[in-house]
Structure 1
Protein backbone atom coordinates (compact mmCIF):
# COMPACT_ATOMS: atom_id res chain seq x y z
CA UNK A 1 0.00 0.00 0.00
CA UNK A 2 1.89 3.06 -1.21
CA UNK A 3 2.29 6.07 1.03
CA UNK A 4 3.44 9.23 -0.73
CA UNK A 5 5.03 12.33 0.68
CA UNK A 6 3.48 15.43 -0.90
CA UNK A 7 5.65 18.48 -1.51
CA UNK A 8 5.01 21.76 -3.24
CA UNK A 9 7.08 24.88 -3.83
CA UNK A 10 4.05 26.85 -2.68
CA UNK A 11 4.91 25.86 0.92
CA UNK A 12 8.07 26.23 2.97
CA UNK A 13 10.20 23.08 3.20
CA UNK A 14 9.56 21.34 6.55
CA UNK A 15 12.25 21.99 9.15
CA UNK A 16 11.78 18.67 10.89
CA UNK A 17 11.01 15.00 10.38
CA UNK A 18 7.60 15.35 8.70
CA UNK A 19 6.02 16.03 5.33
CA UNK A 20 3.91 18.94 4.12
CA UNK A 21 1.21 16.36 3.46
CA UNK A 22 0.97 12.60 3.07
CA UNK A 23 -1.28 10.59 0.81
CA UNK A 24 -2.06 6.96 1.31
CA UNK A 25 -4.31 4.55 -0.49
CA UNK A 26 -6.72 3.56 2.25
CA UNK A 27 -7.00 -0.10 1.35
CA UNK A 28 -6.38 -1.47 4.78
CA UNK A 29 -7.28 -0.95 8.38
CA UNK A 30 -7.10 2.46 9.99
CA UNK A 31 -5.27 2.31 13.30
CA UNK A 32 -5.81 5.19 15.71
CA UNK A 33 -3.08 5.17 18.35
CA UNK A 34 -3.99 6.99 21.56
CA UNK A 35 -1.60 9.51 23.04
CA UNK A 36 1.55 7.65 24.00
CA UNK A 37 3.75 8.93 26.79
CA UNK A 38 7.13 7.91 28.17
CA UNK A 39 5.53 5.26 30.37
CA UNK A 40 7.44 1.96 30.20
CA UNK A 41 5.61 -1.41 30.25
CA UNK A 42 6.39 -1.73 33.98
CA UNK A 43 4.65 1.61 34.66
CA UNK A 44 7.77 3.65 35.36
CA UNK A 45 8.46 6.84 33.41
CA UNK A 46 11.50 6.82 31.13
CA UNK A 47 13.85 9.79 30.97
CA UNK A 48 12.43 12.06 33.64
CA UNK A 49 13.78 15.49 32.71
CA UNK A 50 15.29 14.21 29.42
CA UNK A 51 13.19 14.97 26.34
CA UNK A 52 15.36 12.81 24.05
CA UNK A 53 14.91 9.72 26.20
CA UNK A 54 11.20 10.42 26.63
CA UNK A 55 10.81 10.86 22.86
CA UNK A 56 12.57 7.54 22.32
CA UNK A 57 10.21 5.77 24.75
CA UNK A 58 7.15 7.47 23.22
CA UNK A 59 8.23 6.33 19.73
CA UNK A 60 8.82 2.81 21.04
CA UNK A 61 5.31 2.86 22.52
CA UNK A 62 3.79 4.08 19.24
CA UNK A 63 5.71 1.35 17.42
CA UNK A 64 4.45 -1.29 19.87
CA UNK A 65 0.83 -0.20 19.40
CA UNK A 66 1.12 -0.16 15.60
CA UNK A 67 2.91 -3.53 15.65
CA UNK A 68 0.14 -5.02 17.82
CA UNK A 69 -2.30 -3.94 15.09
CA UNK A 70 -0.18 -5.72 12.46
CA UNK A 71 1.75 -2.73 11.10
CA UNK A 72 5.08 -0.97 11.19
CA UNK A 73 6.19 2.63 11.63
CA UNK A 74 6.21 2.89 7.83
CA UNK A 75 2.40 2.58 8.00
CA UNK A 76 2.07 5.71 10.16
CA UNK A 77 0.67 8.54 8.05
CA UNK A 78 -0.03 11.18 10.72
CA UNK A 79 1.21 12.12 14.18
CA UNK A 80 0.15 14.80 16.62
CA UNK A 81 2.84 15.80 19.09
CA UNK A 82 2.23 17.61 22.36
CA UNK A 83 5.28 19.04 24.11
CA UNK A 84 5.89 20.97 27.29
CA UNK A 85 8.62 23.11 25.68
CA UNK A 86 8.72 23.99 21.98
CA UNK A 87 12.43 24.77 22.37
CA UNK A 88 12.91 20.97 22.45
CA UNK A 89 11.88 20.79 18.75
CA UNK A 90 15.36 19.92 17.40
CA UNK A 91 16.05 17.33 20.14
CA UNK A 92 12.68 15.67 19.51
CA UNK A 93 13.22 15.53 15.75
CA UNK A 94 16.72 14.12 16.24
CA UNK A 95 15.06 11.06 17.82
CA UNK A 96 12.07 11.01 15.44
CA UNK A 97 14.52 10.65 12.55
CA UNK A 98 15.48 7.25 14.01
CA UNK A 99 11.86 6.03 13.79
CA UNK A 100 10.40 7.64 10.67
CA UNK A 101 11.80 7.37 7.13
CA UNK A 102 10.56 8.88 3.89
CA UNK A 103 7.82 9.07 2.93
CA UNK A 104 7.35 10.89 6.24
CA UNK A 105 4.04 11.21 8.05
CA UNK A 106 2.19 14.50 8.25
CA UNK A 107 2.66 16.04 11.68
CA UNK A 108 1.54 18.80 14.01
CA UNK A 109 3.48 19.82 17.13
CA UNK A 110 1.86 21.93 19.83
CA UNK A 111 3.27 23.27 23.09
CA UNK A 112 0.97 22.64 26.05
CA UNK A 113 1.15 23.81 29.64
CA UNK A 114 0.46 20.40 31.17
CA UNK A 115 0.26 16.73 30.27
CA UNK A 116 -1.38 13.92 32.27
CA UNK A 117 1.63 13.56 34.64
CA UNK A 118 3.98 16.35 35.72
CA UNK A 119 7.04 14.32 34.61
CA UNK A 120 5.81 13.92 31.02
CA UNK A 121 7.60 16.18 28.52
CA UNK A 122 6.02 14.81 25.32
CA UNK A 123 2.99 12.84 24.14
CA UNK A 124 2.33 11.55 20.61
CA UNK A 125 -0.78 10.08 19.04
CA UNK A 126 -0.74 8.54 15.59
CA UNK A 127 -2.83 7.32 12.70
CA UNK A 128 -1.64 4.40 10.61
CA UNK A 129 -3.10 2.51 7.67
CA UNK A 130 -2.17 -1.15 8.01
CA UNK A 131 -2.49 -3.40 4.94
Structure 2
Protein backbone atom coordinates (compact mmCIF):
# COMPACT_ATOMS: atom_id res chain seq x y z
CA UNK A 1 0.00 0.00 0.00
CA UNK A 2 1.37 3.40 -0.99
CA UNK A 3 0.63 6.81 0.51
CA UNK A 4 0.20 10.27 -0.99
CA UNK A 5 -0.08 13.54 0.92
CA UNK A 6 -2.00 16.16 -1.10
CA UNK A 7 -0.90 19.78 -0.81
CA UNK A 8 -1.83 21.44 2.44
CA UNK A 9 -2.81 18.15 4.08
CA UNK A 10 -0.87 16.01 6.53
CA UNK A 11 -3.29 13.13 6.06
CA UNK A 12 -2.38 10.16 3.85
CA UNK A 13 -4.40 9.08 0.84
CA UNK A 14 -3.62 5.40 0.33
CA UNK A 15 -3.64 3.35 -2.83
CA UNK A 16 -2.58 0.00 -4.25
CA UNK A 17 -0.51 0.06 -7.42
CA UNK A 18 -0.03 -2.87 -9.76
CA UNK A 19 2.63 -2.37 -12.41
CA UNK A 20 1.89 -3.02 -16.04
CA UNK A 21 1.90 -1.55 -19.53
CA UNK A 22 -0.18 1.06 -21.27
CA UNK A 23 -2.36 3.87 -20.00
CA UNK A 24 -2.79 3.58 -16.22
CA UNK A 25 -6.29 2.74 -14.99
CA UNK A 26 -7.27 4.45 -11.74
CA UNK A 27 -10.15 2.76 -9.90
CA UNK A 28 -12.41 5.06 -7.86
CA UNK A 29 -14.89 3.42 -5.50
CA UNK A 30 -18.43 4.30 -4.52
CA UNK A 31 -19.79 5.79 -1.32
CA UNK A 32 -19.40 3.43 1.61
CA UNK A 33 -16.88 1.28 -0.26
CA UNK A 34 -13.11 1.11 -0.66
CA UNK A 35 -11.12 0.35 -3.81
CA UNK A 36 -8.70 -1.72 -1.73
CA UNK A 37 -11.57 -4.09 -0.97
CA UNK A 38 -13.87 -3.77 -3.99
CA UNK A 39 -11.44 -3.95 -6.92
CA UNK A 40 -8.44 -6.26 -6.30
CA UNK A 41 -10.15 -9.28 -7.90
CA UNK A 42 -11.15 -7.25 -10.96
CA UNK A 43 -7.84 -5.40 -11.29
CA UNK A 44 -5.77 -8.60 -11.15
CA UNK A 45 -7.97 -10.67 -13.48
CA UNK A 46 -7.62 -11.02 -17.23
CA UNK A 47 -7.85 -8.91 -19.37
CA UNK A 48 -6.45 -6.30 -16.96
CA UNK A 49 -3.61 -8.29 -15.42
CA UNK A 50 -0.99 -6.79 -17.76
CA UNK A 51 -2.22 -3.18 -17.40
CA UNK A 52 -0.94 -0.52 -15.00
CA UNK A 53 -3.64 -0.31 -12.29
CA UNK A 54 -4.10 1.99 -9.29
CA UNK A 55 -6.81 1.38 -6.68
CA UNK A 56 -7.46 4.56 -4.66
CA UNK A 57 -9.20 4.72 -1.29
CA UNK A 58 -10.75 8.19 -0.96
CA UNK A 59 -10.15 10.12 2.24
CA UNK A 60 -12.51 8.72 4.84
CA UNK A 61 -12.58 5.26 3.24
CA UNK A 62 -10.61 2.04 3.40
CA UNK A 63 -7.00 2.51 4.46
CA UNK A 64 -6.88 6.27 3.81
CA UNK A 65 -6.89 8.72 6.68
CA UNK A 66 -10.00 10.56 7.87
CA UNK A 67 -8.70 14.15 8.07
CA UNK A 68 -10.91 16.47 10.14
CA UNK A 69 -9.98 19.49 8.01
CA UNK A 70 -11.11 17.86 4.72
CA UNK A 71 -14.63 18.79 3.53
CA UNK A 72 -15.42 15.47 1.75
CA UNK A 73 -17.29 17.21 -1.08
CA UNK A 74 -17.08 15.83 -4.63
CA UNK A 75 -14.93 18.77 -5.69
CA UNK A 76 -12.53 18.07 -2.81
CA UNK A 77 -12.10 14.43 -3.87
CA UNK A 78 -11.66 15.61 -7.49
CA UNK A 79 -8.82 17.94 -6.49
CA UNK A 80 -7.06 15.15 -4.60
CA UNK A 81 -7.30 12.79 -7.60
CA UNK A 82 -5.93 15.48 -9.94
CA UNK A 83 -3.03 16.08 -7.55
CA UNK A 84 -2.37 12.33 -7.33
CA UNK A 85 -2.26 12.02 -11.14
CA UNK A 86 0.16 14.95 -11.32
CA UNK A 87 2.26 13.51 -8.47
CA UNK A 88 2.54 10.17 -10.26
CA UNK A 89 3.62 11.98 -13.44
CA UNK A 90 1.03 10.55 -15.84
CA UNK A 91 0.19 12.32 -19.10
CA UNK A 92 -3.03 10.35 -19.64
CA UNK A 93 -5.01 8.04 -17.37
CA UNK A 94 -8.21 6.04 -17.58
CA UNK A 95 -10.52 6.59 -14.63
CA UNK A 96 -12.96 3.86 -13.72
CA UNK A 97 -15.50 5.05 -11.19
CA UNK A 98 -18.59 3.57 -9.60
CA UNK A 99 -21.22 5.66 -7.80
CA UNK A 100 -19.34 8.47 -6.02
CA UNK A 101 -16.22 7.41 -7.93
CA UNK A 102 -18.07 7.84 -11.23
CA UNK A 103 -19.01 11.38 -10.31
CA UNK A 104 -15.43 12.14 -9.26
CA UNK A 105 -14.14 10.63 -12.54
CA UNK A 106 -16.48 12.73 -14.69
CA UNK A 107 -15.75 15.93 -12.75
CA UNK A 108 -11.99 15.32 -12.87
CA UNK A 109 -12.12 14.68 -16.63
CA UNK A 110 -14.17 17.83 -17.17
CA UNK A 111 -11.87 19.96 -15.03
CA UNK A 112 -8.73 18.56 -16.66
CA UNK A 113 -10.10 19.24 -20.13
CA UNK A 114 -11.24 22.74 -19.19
CA UNK A 115 -8.01 23.79 -17.49
CA UNK A 116 -5.62 21.74 -19.67
CA UNK A 117 -3.92 20.23 -16.64
CA UNK A 118 -0.34 19.02 -17.04
CA UNK A 119 -1.49 15.42 -17.37
CA UNK A 120 -3.51 16.22 -20.50
CA UNK A 121 -6.72 14.22 -20.55
CA UNK A 122 -8.61 11.67 -18.54
CA UNK A 123 -10.86 9.06 -20.02
CA UNK A 124 -13.64 8.16 -17.59
CA UNK A 125 -16.00 5.25 -17.16
CA UNK A 126 -18.84 5.90 -14.74
CA UNK A 127 -20.74 2.61 -14.81
CA UNK A 128 -19.94 -1.01 -14.44
CA UNK A 129 -18.48 -2.81 -17.41
CA UNK A 130 -18.78 -6.53 -17.81
CA UNK A 131 -15.42 -8.19 -17.34
CA UNK A 132 -14.95 -11.77 -18.52
CA UNK A 133 -14.16 -13.13 -15.05
CA UNK A 134 -15.87 -15.52 -12.72
CA UNK A 135 -17.26 -13.77 -9.63
CA UNK A 136 -16.05 -14.97 -6.25
CA UNK A 137 -18.56 -15.20 -3.46
CA UNK A 138 -17.31 -14.39 0.00
CA UNK A 139 -18.90 -15.63 3.18
CA UNK A 140 -19.09 -13.36 6.17
CA UNK A 141 -18.47 -15.06 9.50
Shared fold per TM-score greater than 0.5: no
Between structures 1 and 2, the one with greater strand share: 1
Which of the pair has the greater relative contact order for Cα pairs under 8 Å at 6+ separation?
1
Bucket of the pairwise TM-score, normalised by the shorter protein: 0.3 to 0.5
TM-score scaled to structure 1, two decimals? 0.36
